[in-house]
Structure 1
């Protein structure tokens, strides 16, 4: 599992290892699948949210 942070603009950076694994390139469109949200809080504990 890879963890990313959301910027103040609501953006995330897809780590290089993931981009390379799936062949993701600039300009590609990705589909986001909603399986619920697993949020890592600042205290590093995981909570399932909505």
Structure 2
């Protein structure tokens, strides 16, 4: 079941995924999510001034 999840969702990693690869995927996915939600970008811009 875990193998099926890993094949279906590429960001979940595998037992061979290194800490660095997992962190890179996590940051890339978070940044992509932030950029795709305009209201979140407005919130971040208001916080940063």
Which structure shows the higher helix fraction?
Answer: 2
TM range (shorter): under 0.3
Identify, as 1 or 2, the structure richer in strand. Answer: 1
What is the TM-score of this pair, normalised by structure 2? 0.22
Kindly name which structure, 1 or 2, has the bigger radius of gyration based on alpha carbons. Answer: 2
